[in-house]
Amino acid sequence: MTATAILEVRDLVKIYRAAGDEPPALGGVSMSIEPGEFVAIMGPSGSGKSTLMNILGCLDKPTYGTYTLDGVDVSSLDDEQLAEIRASRIGFVFQSFNLLPRSTVMRNVVLPMIYTKVPVREREERAAKALTAVGLDESAWYHKSNELSGGQMQRVAIARALVNDPAIVLADEPTGNLDTHTGEIILDTFCTLHEQGRTIVLITHENDVAKHAERVVHVRDGVIVDDAGAQGGAA
């Protein structure tokens, strides 16, 4: 792993079928991301970006290749160890929010810390800090999540992703269920977090979403076809 990279993948290959003529989902992907970068991984349906996202999120393992996150070679870890990495080093933001609808905003944000050693009082302090960071008004904190607008729910989801101070925030099509105006507000939230030093990896197929990132990685047919924002030029 390079001295400064927080995330680095080398020669990632993912094969879902060992036999037949179907090409690999990933055909040898290499890239690195520096701390504090805001990177969009972009590609059409079937390009391999979702497979790459699943590996970066430790939801799947590569068939070949290495993946180092925050100094740990996660490509060699077992399922229990990967679950620990997901809980402690990756903050997930999904298109569908994935909130508990009958639980309060505060409860949803505290949830990732319940099975940790974080004291109860500190959990709420960290949740409040995260909710403030994403700009959600305190008057909404004790409402149930199903009483919120789509934009408010996504802010809660982003706050939940921040509470364990992850190495990276991984956002999968985070504006996919939002109208254009609300989507812009959410993307502005990511830009603000980036300005505060957060490392963000955003998966999208939309140019209007990707343009908010400082670097765009284009994936097609399982390989990176353009990464002009990387140090040293295109991959």
pLDDT in tens, 77-115: 999 999 999 988 999 999 999 999 999 999 999 999 987
Handedness of CA 126, 127, 128, 132 (dihedral sign): positive
Task: Please state which CATH number belongs to domain 36-56+84-226.
Answer: 3.40.50.300
Mean predicted confidence (pLDDT) in 159-163:
95
In whole angstroms, give the CA distance from residue 68 to residue 8: 5
Q: CA angle, corner 23, sides to 19 and 24, nearest 5?
A: 90
pTM of the prediction? 0.90
pLDDT computed for residue 126 by the predictor: 95
Residue 234 has pLDDT above 50, yes or no: no
Q: Which amino acid is at 102?
A: R
* Domain residue ranges of the chain, discontinuous segments joined by +: 36-56+84-226
Note the pLDDT tens digit of each residue in 65-79.
999 999 999 988 999
Cite the beta strand spans of the chain per DSSP E: 7-14, 26-33, 38-42, 64-69, 72-73, 90-94, 168-172, 200-204, 215-220, 223-226
Residue 235 has pLDDT above 50, yes or no: no
pLDDT computed for residue 137 by the predictor: 94
pLDDT computed for residue 230 by the predictor: 57
The chain-wide mean pLDDT, for the chain, equals 91
Alpha-carbon distance values, 228 to 22, 50, 169, 192 (Å)? 29, 21, 22, 23
Note the pLDDT tens digit of each residue in 132-155.
999 999 999 999 999 999 999 999
Phi, psi of 183 (to 5 degrees): -60, -40
**Bridge partners, 223 (sequence order):** 220
- Contacts of residue 72, defined as CB under 8 A and 6 or more positions apart, other chains included, come to 85, 89
Note the pLDDT tens digit of each residue in 14-55.
998 765 677 899 999 999 999 999 999 999 988 999 999 999
Query: Can you spell out the DSSP letters for 142-156?
Result: TSBGGGS-HHHHHHH
pLDDT computed for residue 4 by the predictor: 87
- Count Cβ atoms within 10 A of the Cβ of residue 120 and give its class: 0-12 exposed, 13-18 middle, 19 or more buried: exposed
Angle 120-133/150-162 helices, nearest 10 degrees? Answer: 130
The distance of Cα 63 from the centroid of its chain, to the nearest Å, equals 21
pLDDT computed for residue 232 by the predictor: 43
